[in-house]
Every structure is written in structure tokens, then in C-alpha cells.
Amino acid sequence: MNLPLHVAVIMDGNGRWAENRGEKREIGHLFGAKRVPAVARAFFDRGVRIVSLYAFSQENFRRPPIEVQGIFGCVEAFARSVETLGDDVRVIFSGEKSALPPSLAAACLAAEERTEVNKPFILNILIAYGGREEILRAARMLSGEKITEQNFRSALYADLPDPDLIIRTGGEKRLSGFMPFQSAYSELYFTDVLFPDFGDKDIEAALADYSSRQRRFGSLPPPKVP
Ligand code: FPP
């Protein structure tokens, strides 16, 4: 099976999952957040080395404060108990930490520090992340320098290999500002499953679909053997 090294998930559908049950949207985020360690582990167990999860964009600050606080509470609880992921996972938070409430920013930083030496898996949580902002910020950081792909990549929030596969749950078919620089050649997979329901069989279906793709990176397919 042809496996992706780096899988990203746009975790959409939490709000609808809750509304379908007559619950407040925050409950959907809570159940989505509860799935995060198992989803990451399911990918790692199947040979994926890096998992990126889109938890909160800069545009998500436009949501009602109660919902924003709910999501931040989930991420803070996760950051504080990051050890439960296992001692083989390094956690990174990509985004504008200075835009976060100080206690959340501190919890994210502490979780990064506590897992810094862990290997071989990386869990990259995007929070207060803006895709365009990431590009503009890198360009500003390098102003006056000769920009190369290499130094530009090192000025992004996290200098990771590009996502090979981007999965979006919840039925919408768009990237919503997710890693616009890094996703140039990513394979895309969309599923109607709402994130709190996203389970092992959905993960296997996404990986099997990826495995059947032929990635060409702008080149031609290999010639057919007669
Ligand atoms: C999109 O669903 C989801 C979000 C904006 C938040 C996702 C955050 C989490 C799952 C919590 C993150 C926690 C950790 C531990 C990383 P939506 O609210 O837009 O859903 P809808 O389209 O059904 O309204």
C-alpha cells in the first residue's frame, strides 16, 4: 500500500453533529476534541508519521465568543494532558500564539516543550492559523534577504514535509485557508462523515483511496508496460 507520510484533517462538522442531537455547538467541539488522540493514533498505527489537524483558523475568531471559548477550552485541556498521546508523539501548535488567551498560549508552549524530544510521530495542531497570514509573515521575516524555497519554508509556522493527503470531513469541498503554500500538490479527500463520527473505517477508506492515486507532480504518468 502506498502510504502518505503526512496526513492533514480539516475537522469539519462538529457544529452540525451537535445540532443534529439538539445540543449546543460547543458540545460538538467537545466530542470532536475527544476523538483527536484516537484519530492521530489510528493514522500513526497505519504508518503515517505526521498528522496535522486544523483546529481553529484566524477567521474562526468571528464566531460567537462562547463557541470560541469552548474550542479554546478543548485545546487547552488537550495541551495540558498531552502525555496521554504516548511518549512517541511530538506535538507542535502552528499559528499565531500571541492571538490566543495567555493561559492557552502557555499551555501550548509547555506541551511543545514537554514533547520536544519525542519521536517518531508528529502531531501538528493548527490554531489561530491563517494560511495567507503564514505566507505574508514568512515574506516579512525574510525582507531584505534573498528568498529561496528553502529559507521560505523555514519561515513558515512549522517546517514540515508537505501534506500528502488532506482530508476534509463534514461534506464541504474547500480548503478554507488550510496550508495554501504546502498544499500545492496535496491529494484531496472529502467525506460527508462529521468529524466526531470520523472513525477507523473512514480513516482506512481515505488511506485506501490515497493509495490508488497516481501522483505526478506536474510530470507524465509512467509508460504503460505492454
Ligand atoms: C469546524 O466545524 C470545526 C472547528 C472550527 C473546530 C474544530 C476544533 C476541534 C475539533 C477541537 C480541537 C481540539 C483539539 C484537541 C485539537 P464546524 O463548527 O464549522 O462544524 P459545522 O460546519 O457543522 O458548523
- pLDDT, residue 224, reads 79
Which superfamily is assigned to 6-211 in CATH? Decaprenyl diphosphate synthase-like (3.40.1180.10)
Query: What are 25's three cell numbers?
Result: 455547538
The residue-averaged pLDDT of 138-143 equals 96
Q: Where are the domains of the chain?
A: 6-211
**Probe target for ligand 1 pocket from 29, 31, 69, 173, with the most ligand atoms within 8 Å of CB:** 29
* pLDDT surpasses 80 at 223: no
- pLDDT, residue 160, reads 97
**Using CA atoms, how far apart are residues 37 and 115, in angstroms rounded to an integer?**
15
Taking the centre of ligand 1 as the mean of its atom positions, its distance from the CA of residue 45, in whole angstroms, is 24
**Using CA atoms, how far apart are residues 123 and 146, in angstroms rounded to an integer?**
31
Question: In the chain, where does DSSP find H-type helix?
Answer: 14-19, 25-45, 65-80, 102-114, 131-141, 149-154, 200-211
**Using CA atoms, how far apart are residues 129 and 161, in angstroms rounded to an integer?**
18
Taking the centre of ligand 1 as the mean of its atom positions, its distance from the CA of residue 70, in whole angstroms, is 10
Helix (H/G/I), strand (E/B), else coil: 147: coil
* Lowest pLDDT segment from 82-86, 108-112, 136-140, 202-206: 82-86
What phi and psi, each to the nearest 5 degrees, are found at residue 5? -80, -40
The residue-averaged pLDDT of 7-20 equals 98
**Using CA atoms, how far apart are residues 36 and 32, in angstroms rounded to an integer?**
7
Instruction: For ligand 1, atom 7, name the residue with the nearest CA.
Output: 55
Ligand 1: list residues with CB < 6 Å. 11-16, 25, 29, 32-33, 36, 53, 55-56, 60, 71, 74-75, 78, 125, 170, 195
Q: Please name which of 213, 218, 216, 206 lies closest in space to residue 48, comparing C-alpha atoms.
A: 206
19-71 pLDDT, tens digit each: 999 999 999 999 999 999 999 999 999 999 999 999 999 999 999 999 999 99
Residue 218: pLDDT band with limits 50, 70, 90? confident
∠ CA 118-123-127 to the nearest 5 degrees?
A: 130
Taking the centre of ligand 1 as the mean of its atom positions, its distance from the CA of residue 122, in whole angstroms, is 20
Q: Which atom of ligand 1 is nearest to the CA of 79?
A: 15
State the average pLDDT for the chain: 96
Query: What are 218's three cell numbers?
Result: 506536474
- pLDDT, residue 219, reads 86
Higher pLDDT, 214 or 165: 165
CA gyration radius, the chain? 18
Taking the centre of ligand 1 as the mean of its atom positions, its distance from the CA of residue 142, in whole angstroms, is 33
Given a contact cutoff of 8 angstroms between Cβ atoms, the answer to whether 153 and 159 are in contact is yes
Catalytic residues: 12, 60
- pLDDT, residue 35, reads 98
Residue found by looking up cell 507524465 in the block = 220
Helix (H/G/I), strand (E/B), else coil: 137: helix
- pLDDT, residue 209, reads 98
Helix 65-80 with 102-114: angle, nearest 10 deg: 30
